[in-house]
């Protein structure tokens, strides 16, 4: 039994091949993630006598090229959580951290857990692309929030509070009315230098050109707000340039987000569980694809508890002697992106008060019992994941039987 430990890094890996009882088959050596070197590695591992298993860590996306190539070459690949490798075999007082030492440690982990190693299954291209889109969506959303706060901080010095006058939802292209409004009326002096009737005419004309509903009453509200302002930045070309640049950046990111969201909806709609996921309360065309992206194929989890542990919302027992903890924290060892999406689903359920939904009833009951916010939210996430696992897995199994 040959245990091949691979310490993966960006563009290259360190390889060590071990036999039981610490016998070294191949001293740690380095390869680059190129087709020629990966082919040499695959041929070398296939030439070894006895059963060979390759073990590597989850290291971002760096492990994927080598894992896919070796898996396609017919080798047994097992990708292990980095936490398991980190906690294994720390029976020395010396702290050694090198790629060579790590590759040997990974190989020894494989030997110690030979029968427990799970085979690596590559994700299909649709799910992998959907997950990548979701991670990009989250990154751009953070950027959008930062840019929106930046624009509001500038407006506090030119036209404070104008963003609170608009409640129109974002358009399919990502544009929002209050943002487009500030590009045209970027300073309170741009409003109050006109008479009320003249500004109302200007505002309605702008709404027609920009594709928004005309509203004379809203124009009066804006005018009243502008008259009460004490701006700290002058109404000059430099201030105008600052505001317009902030608006352009925000609209650009919003447009990108809208494009990614449409792509995610298209990708998710091609997956078999899409109608089942969207039929669940609290899940719409935005959160549905995000859930599917982070959970992936639910059949890879042997039971519902595995999915809950993957999300990191499980609370492991803590007991020693006669002591048993009653108030435990969640593990947070799983996907933080999935936990974020689950909390958003719970928020949707609570905001819309979906009394007929089982998860909402559970949340409401926990709130009535006086449970703290995070306690009842995490409990709701657990409940939702159990229902998700049962419904989606049952549907996918029925499709396999029908086929």
Whether 155 has a pLDDT exceeding 70, the answer reads yes
* Low-confidence winner among 48-52, 161-165, 242-246, 318-322 (lowest mean pLDDT): 318-322
Query: Residue 54 forms beta bridges with which residues?
Result: 4, 77
Query: Are the C-beta atoms of 92 and 135 separated by less than 8 Å?
Result: no
* Low-confidence winner among 24-28, 259-263, 287-291, 342-346 (lowest mean pLDDT): 24-28
For residue 64, name the pLDDT band (cuts at 50, 70, 90).
Answer: confident
Whether 19 has a pLDDT exceeding 70, the answer reads yes
| Gyration radius from the chain CA atoms | 28
Residue pLDDT, tens place only, 75-110: 899 998 888 888 887 777 677 778 888 888 898 888
Per-residue model confidence (pLDDT) at position 3? 87
For residue 335, name the pLDDT band (cuts at 50, 70, 90).
Answer: confident
DSSP 94: S
In this prediction, residues 271-296 reach a mean pLDDT of 92
Sheet with 23-32: strands ordered across: 23-32, 12-19, 2-9, 52-57, 76-80
Per-residue model confidence (pLDDT) at position 321? 77
SS3 214: coil
Whether 403 has a pLDDT exceeding 70, the answer reads no
In this prediction, residues 257-270 reach a mean pLDDT of 94
CA distance 201 to 276: 49
Alpha helix (H) ranges present in 156-284? Answer: 177-184, 189-192, 196-210, 216-227, 237-269, 274-278
Residue pLDDT, tens place only, 275-285: 999 999 989 88
Per-residue model confidence (pLDDT) at position 135? 92
For residue 357, name the pLDDT band (cuts at 50, 70, 90).
Answer: confident
Scored b (16 or more CB within 10 A) or e, 253-283 reads bbebbbebbebbbebbeebebbebbbebbbb
CA distance 210 to 243: 18
Residue pLDDT, tens place only, 196-242: 999 999 999 999 999 898 889 999 999 999 999 999 999 999 999 99
Residue pLDDT, tens place only, 362-379: 998 998 988 888 889 999
Residue pLDDT, tens place only, 320-330: 777 777 777 77
CA distance 152 to 149: 5
What are the tokens at 17?
Answer: 């091949």
In this prediction, residues 335-341 reach a mean pLDDT of 90
Whether 271 has a pLDDT exceeding 90, the answer reads yes
Query: Are the C-beta atoms of 341 and 291 separated by less than 8 Å?
Result: yes
CA distance 46 to 266: 41
Phi, psi of 104 (to 5 degrees): -65, -40
How many CB atoms are closer than 10 A to CB 249? 15
Query: Are the C-beta atoms of 313 and 381 separated by less than 8 Å?
Result: yes
Per-residue model confidence (pLDDT) at position 147? 96
Q: Is the dihedral of CA 395, 398, 400, 403 positive or negative?
A: negative
What the chain holds in terms of domains, given with CATH numbers, is 2-116 (3.30.420.40), 128-268 (1.10.287), 274-402 (no CATH)
DSSP 285: T
What are the tokens at 349?
Answer: 């359920």
Per-residue model confidence (pLDDT) at position 355? 81
Q: Is the dihedral of CA 84, 88, 93, 97 positive or negative?
A: negative
């Amino acid at each position: 039994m040959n245990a091949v430990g691979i310490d993966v890094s960006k563009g290259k890996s360190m390889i060590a091949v071990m036999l039981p009882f610490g016998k070294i088959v191949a001293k740690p050596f380095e390869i680059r993630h190129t087709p020629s070197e990966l082919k040499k590695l695959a041929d070398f591992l296939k030439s070894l006598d006895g059963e060979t298993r390759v073990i590597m860590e989850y290291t971002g996306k760096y492990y994927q090229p080598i894992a896919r190539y070796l898996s396609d070459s017919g080798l047994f690949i097992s990708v292990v959580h980095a936490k398991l490798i980190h906690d294994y075999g720390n029976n020395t007082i010396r702290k050694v951290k090198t790629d060579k030492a790590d590759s040997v440690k990974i190989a020894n982990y494989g030997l110690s857990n030979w029968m427990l190693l799970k085979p690596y299954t590559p994700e299909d291209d649709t799910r992998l692309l959907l997950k990548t889109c979701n991670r990009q969506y989250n990154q751009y959303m953070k950027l959008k929030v930062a840019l929106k706060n930046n624009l509001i901080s500038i407006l506090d010095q030119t036209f404070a509070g104008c963003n609170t006058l608009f409640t129109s939802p974002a358009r399919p292209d990502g544009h929002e009315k209050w943002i487009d409004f500030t590009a045209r009326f970027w300073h309170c002096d741009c409003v109050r230098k006109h008479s009320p009737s003249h500004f109302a005419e200007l505002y309605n004309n702008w709404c027609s050109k920009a594709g928004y509903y005309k509203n004379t009453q809203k124009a009066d509200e804006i005018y009243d707000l502008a008259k009460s302002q004490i701006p700290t930045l002058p109404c000059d070309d430099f201030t105008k340039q600052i505001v317009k640049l902030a608006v352009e950046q925000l609209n650009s990111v919003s447009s990108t987000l809208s494009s990614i969201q449409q792509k995610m909806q298209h990708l998710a709609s091609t997956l078999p569980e899409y109608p089942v996921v969207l039929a669940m309360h609290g899940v719409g065309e935005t959160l549905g694809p995000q859930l599917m992206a982070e959970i992936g194929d639910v059949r890879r989890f042997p039971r519902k508890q595995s999915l809950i542990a993957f999300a990191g919302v499980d609370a492991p027992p803590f007991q020693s002697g006669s002591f048993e903890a009653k108030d435990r924290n969640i593990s947070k060892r799983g996907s933080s992106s999935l936990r974020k999406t689950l909390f958003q689903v719970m928020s949707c359920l609570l905001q819309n008060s979906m009394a007929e939904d089982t998860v909402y009833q559970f949340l409401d009951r926990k709130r009535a019992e006086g449970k703290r916010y995070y306690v009842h939210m995490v409990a709701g996430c657990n409940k939702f994941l159990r229902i998700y696992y049962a419904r989606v897995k049952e549907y996918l199994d029925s499709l396999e039987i029908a086929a």
